[in-house]
Chain A
Amino acid sequence: MPGNTFGTSLTITTFGESHGKALGVIIDGLESNFQIDLDDLAFQMSRRRPGGNRLGTKRNEKDEIEILSGMFEGKTTGTPLAILIRNTNQHSDDYSPIADFYRPGHADYTWDKKFGIRDWRGGGRSSGRETAARLAAGAIAMQILRKKGITITAYTTQIGPIKAKVKNLEDISKNLVSCCDNEQAEKMVQLIDETREKKDSIGGIIECVITNVPAGLGEPVFQKTEALLGQAILSLGAVKGIEFGEGFNCVNFTGSEHNDPITKDGFETNRAGGINGGITNGEPIIFRVPVKPTASISLPQRTIGIDGKEQTIVVEGRHDPCICVRIVPVIEAMSALTILSLWYDQNGR
């Protein structure tokens, strides 16, 4: 199956390349008669927009969206909703030599091995720019979930070696790195600036909390909530893993310590991260993802050309020294699409 469609009852299909004419998404399976808040949609797009944050890439895209179908008089019609985002600020010249070699850390080599042809301009379809289309779809899913009382909040907990020490969700919107700790965020910003000067990049950890999810979402055995959220989040290029609740730290517990005691008022703890047996248990869903240091760097690197010869390359261009800054809303968007799809699986649209 070609890998451009995601979801169960609700599906998205994305298309487009970084430096092509446009990117887009078709969302199929949405409920009808939902009033789309276009201002909120534009706001969500601005959170990921290139040039929207001084710590991000210097490429400046307006990321204006056009809804082509599936909406009538501002409301969803229940038919496929198609969204188009035109590329306006491509500078393919910045990247022209990359046609001749494989950039380390990128998908150039593997795409060539798989397809035998690649749109090398800006990384083509393997570029992070593809996520703009998902964000548009996810922002609509998020609006629908919000009406059902479900909220999704992602935030940075670590950049390079600098960790958040407190979890103040009010802080997230108050700093450039969407961190839940304003004080540590300052150090993170400083580190990102310093890393950019050194022509290098760094990674980080994003945590995401989904609250007010009713118990009972998730379809055993292959469409468990963790499995689908895992697929959704791991489909993002820079994400290298995912853990739920205590995650990898669960090995430091015994069963008696790790089990969440149940009382008539609910669960006493939430080490499971809101999911048992692949089905939501009504507690907040909590997961964390490591985001790798951006592959695009301007330092000399060793690689081979498409002719197989070893060479040292320098890729000039407008790079993000830390992609965490812009991936936060995309993680929320992919979570929203997953949870809404599972909601429709359970309750219908």
Chain B
Amino acid sequence: MIAHKEEIELMHKYLDGDLREEEEEELRKHLEFCEECQNHFHELKRTITLIQSSESVRAPSDFTNHVMSRLPKEKNGMKYKRWFKRHPIVTAAAIFFIFMLSGMFTQWNQDGELVVSKQENLIVQGDTVIVPEGVVVDDNLVVKNGNLIVKGTIDGDVTIINGKLIEEEAVSGESLMASVGEINGEINSVDRMFEWLWYQAKTLFEKVFSLE
């Protein structure tokens, strides 16, 4: 065997796909008359076939779970990130809701000052808006951060935000004041955050779906 060291070297090169053409020719010629090397070559090729017929095994079914349970703890933020990734619609809705809420909240907190919709002939006394006797308001009236006393007539809806409609007689300074007038429309009184939101949503809804 040692005598044919070179040829054996060629056989290995052949098995590794490294044999040049002239070397292949050389090996072939040698194998034609050398039975010993023929045998050796055959055994090598057979060895490879045998190795390749070796058994195969598969990992146990819970292998992945075992690995995952042994991994070091991941950073906390990742869990939320992944959750958001998996529920894009919920995430979008949540973000929208947050913006909407914060928008309304700023609007709510914008100013504590008395705001009243532009109508003529209204009297403002401190935080109270008065519709004087004999005055006819022919539009919707909105009062924010103040009370309303109606002595005249309103031909429209009345909305009072963060305040109230004073209906009964009340002592305010020198004069007696009460709402004794007429309101020919709906009266909305909003004086809490939740109601304010509800009112906003309702208004939005009406605006969106109004056929006007």
- Whether both chains belong to one complex is answered with no
